[in-house]
Amino acid sequence: MSEHVLKWAHGEAVVLSTAAVLADCRFNLGGKAFLPFARAPWMGTVTDMSIIGHLRELGGDFVCVPMGSGGPAPQAPPEWAALMDRPRDWPIHGPAADEEWTIVSADASSVTLALDYPETSPVLRLERRVAARPDAPALDSTLTLFARRAAPISVGLHPIFRLPEQPGRLRLEAAFDFGLVHPRQVAGEQEFSSLATVPQANGPVDLSHSPLGSQKNLNVQLCGMRSPMKATWLDEGAGMILDWDRAQLPSLQIWHTDRGVDVPPWNGQYRGLGLEPIAAAFDLNDAISTGPNPINRRGVATAIDIAPETPTIIRHSVVAFSS
């Protein structure tokens, strides 16, 4: 594994070759250090190569091509049940989130990495560029996808942000058409229209203010995103805006885990909030996203179409601010 350090007037960041992970980022906000991204406590210590790359080095931002992970589920809402027998995609979130990328160019404030895909994939090659914005506490990322052959494929971006210690002290704000609880986690109502009232078995929870206290795990998809995602750490006077091309990636998956995964390397330690722009049906098997499903039947794309003639370019940014 190799790493590249970005330094500019408004911050410092580290990008790893493993899964092209943004491992660390510090923004300078008026002389105050602001670290919005999550970072696994085991980073740099896992030597078991059977654990996929983005879990060995679980930092703040990576890419998923295809988005899928999935695996069979014994129970699901009726409209999802017939789809939930698909096997797990491997590696989870695709080669992009597992393999060693090659650093092809780098300077003081940017780095470009590349990864060739197996011949069995419709994807030929990925290039990922992470660049500091010279005049702002901001990072701009570009994913360029080169196709081997024309095909639909699910795609996701996977920023993960730091949870505060106290429940409810991270405020989320976004506009969307409709939200759905992950079909694996439904115990009644699945759909919602406000982050403040996400249905759960024991009554609605307020996902607009996290962490959720006694609830360790929750996964939802905001479909038909109409705005960036704004997050404010209320006790720190700071926040960030996550923005991307919503015509390409029309949904945002929110993955909330607060010491909710017990198997290695997690061991009940990890706290993070994934805010993941996607063209996918949650993190389900890629075949579910590329075929008919309850989300794309409502006009929200769950895959992108790639073709050899024209590379697909997907951009996203994280801009920090003082509140």
Domain 3-322 of CATH type 3.30.70.360:
no
The closest of 28, 287, 234, 62 to 137, measured between CA atoms, is 28
User: In this structure, are residues 257 and 272 in contact, taking their beta carbons and an 8 Å threshold?
Assistant: yes
For the chain, which residues make up each domain, given as ranges? 3-322
User: In this structure, are residues 22 and 130 in contact, taking their beta carbons and an 8 Å threshold?
Assistant: yes
Res. 252: pLDDT tops 80 = yes
pLDDT band for 69, please (50, 70, 90 cuts): confident
3 state DSSP class of 286? helix
Q: What is the pLDDT of residue 187?
A: 78
Q: What is the pLDDT of residue 90?
A: 87
How do residues 272-286 score in pLDDT, each as one tens digit?
999 999 999 999 999
Q: What is the pLDDT of residue 148?
A: 98
User: Which uninterrupted H or E stretch holds 305?
Assistant: strand 304-306
How do residues 181-233 score in pLDDT, each as one tens digit?
999 999 789 999 999 999 998 899 999 999 999 899 999 999 999 999 999 99
Q: What is the pLDDT of residue 71?
A: 73
Q: Round to whole Å and give the CA distance between 111 and 105.
A: 6
Residue that the structure tokens 């038909």 belong to: 224
User: In this structure, are residues 2 and 20 in contact, taking their beta carbons and an 8 Å threshold?
Assistant: no
Neighbours of 299 (CB within 10 A): 10
pLDDT band for 104, please (50, 70, 90 cuts): very high
- How much of the chain exceeds pLDDT 70, in percent? 100
